[in-house]
Amino acid sequence: MKGKGAAHAIATCAVMTALLIAVQYALGFVPGVELVTVFLLAFCYVFGAKYGVIVATAFSLLRCFVWGFYPNIIVLYLIYFNAFALLFGLLGGRERPVAVWVCPVLLALLAAGCMAGALIGIPVSVLYRARLSAMLWALFGVLAGLLALYIALWAVGGRRAGQGREAASLAALAALCTVCFTLLDDVLTPLFYGYSFDAAVAYFYAGFFAMLPQTICTVLSVLLLFYPLRKVFAQAAAGKRRGERVRRRARAARKRRGESENASSNDGRTQKDVV
Amino acid sequence: MKHFRTLFAAAAAAVLLCGALFAGCAGGAAGTSDAELLVSDGTRVVVRANAGDGTQSLYSVLEAMQKENKLTFAGSESEYGYYITSVNGVEATDDHYWAVYTTLGTLDGTSYSDAQWGTWEYEGNTLASASYGVSGLPMIEGEYYALVWTAIAA
């Protein structure tokens, strides 16, 4: 990132960070609904891991001016969103679809976990058990539906179906990441505040109420918004690449004409000589 | 485009299904409880359940008492339940908050309070800091429940 490239990179990352903070703030008052995951996912997928990590770090730190400075949350965000950016940045950089087995395996594992939780029963307050069970069954239904959709698209074949399968695979990976976010919080927060084992277990179970709606939201938002967002970001990235291409061509043309990198002034001296 | 329409239809169906499931389970509990308001002022509210089958929450009891003008309270809903921010006109500040205490310990394998986070004494009864908010605490016969104006530890 040198010269104009660096300025463009800083501007791109700044705009994306502002967008993420705005998206989080706008939906912060709706419990269980968040679109930061799909925005960051599409951005990292198009712009790559390097830009993704810069945005993830800036977002994790700057959002504190809106939501407050809580050390455990800052550490959680820095670890999670940087790992998230690396994962989806590297996936996007591969320029080939996610392996066919990834989506079915992830969805089957997550759906089995939901079904087990709903059948065994999670020891939360007796007043919350029915709601938690409904949430688990709802997530199970969404994951099973996504798996059925993936298999149907796989059977249909073709480029469009391939795009749908890719979105389904990324939705499954994003769902896993959302679950990991809550699990990471279940470790970091009790450690940071020195919870007793019982309190940590209670915190873990209470975390299900945040995790389940967010996971459902992640699956649906990635499934629906990944391609439109990817298109928008790809257009922005193409603008960046077009600019680089124009500069490269101009440099090559100057070389062909035998001009040096430092353009001559009217009296034959280069800018370097003048300086 | 056809596949996008299929995706959209599937997602919309999933949203409706989830909404219906959540709405079905979000309704208030239809159980019964007989609760007595022991104290209600600007620093504490103490309630004792004289009867209760565990299907009604402290929140619904407080709500009923508010309707009878025995006390006032306000707060906000969150993913973790109802969070009380004001009782009898006294608002939570940067230094103080309304803590929830109860004598209800472990019931059916679920712990409802933890003395590690603090205790509060009321007429010879030791109430421990609740693990749930007012909407997650079931009314159980003989148990005490308290909202206490508490300083935030530095």
Distance from CA of B5 to the nearest CA of A (A): 10
Mean pLDDT of B77-89: 86
Which A residues, 37 through 56, put their C-beta within 8 Å of a C-beta on chain B? none
B122-132 residue pLDDT tens: 999 999 999 88
Output the pLDDT for position A238: 82
Assess contact for B70 and B40: CB atoms under 8 A.
yes
Contacts with A195 from chain B: Cβ below 8 Å: 116
Among partner residues A130, A141, A195, which is closest to B25 by beta-carbon distance? A130
pLDDT band at B149 (very low <50, low <70, confident <90, very high): very high
A128 in reach of chain B (CB within 8 A): yes
Comparing alpha-carbon positions, the chain A residue that sits nearest to B109 is A123
pLDDT for the residue numbered A116:
94
Amino acid A4: pLDDT: 53
How far B107 CA sits from the closest chain A CA (Å)?
9
Q: Is A216 on the interface with B (CB under 8 A)?
A: yes
pLDDT score at B29: 43
Could you tell me how far CA A200 lies from the centroid of its own chain?
A: 28
> What are the pLDDT digits (tens) for B131-148?
888 999 999 999 999 999
Flag whether residue A196 sits within 8 Å of chain B, measured between CB atoms.
yes
Check if A207 contacts B (Cβ < 8 Å).
no
Say yes or no for a CB contact (<8 Å) between B8 and A224. yes
Asked if pLDDT for residue B7 goes beyond 90, the answer is: no
One DSSP character per residue, A1-43 reads: --HHHHHHHHHHHHHHHHHHHHHHHHTTTSTT---HHHHHHHH
Asked whether residue B3 carries a pLDDT value surpassing 60, the answer given is: no
Tens of pLDDT along chain A (275 residues)? 444 578 889 999 999 999 999 999 999 888 788 999 999 999 999 999 999 999 999 999 999 999 999 999 999 999 999 999 999 999 988 877 787 788 899 999 999 999 999 998 888 888 888 888 998 999 999 999 999 988 888 888 777 788 888 889 999 999 999 999 999 999 999 999 888 777 788 788 888 888 899 999 999 999 999 999 999 999 888 876 666 677 778 788 877 776 554 444 444 444 444 33
Instruction: For residues A56 and A84, give the distance between their C-alpha atoms in angstroms, rounded to a whole number.
Output: 8
User: Parallel, antiparallel, or unpaired: how do β-strands B44-57 and B33-40 relate?
Assistant: antiparallel
pLDDT band at B14 (very low <50, low <70, confident <90, very high): low
Q: Which residue type sits at B123?
A: E
ipTM over 0.90: no
Closest residue to A127, CB basis, from B18, B57, B117: B57
pLDDT digits 0-9 by tens, B40-76: 999 999 999 998 878 899 999 999 999 999 999 999 8
Picking from A127, A138, A195, the nearest residue to B29 by CB comes out as A127
CB contact under 8 A, A31 and B77: yes
**pLDDT-wise least confident of A69-73, A243-247, B35-39, B101-105:** A243-247
Domains and CATH numbers, chain B: 34-151 (2.170.130)
For the cut 50, the answer to whether the pLDDT of residue B84 exceeds it is: yes
A49-62 burial, b if ≥16 CB within 10 A, otherwise e? bbbbbbbbbbbbee
Domain boundaries, chain A: 3-236
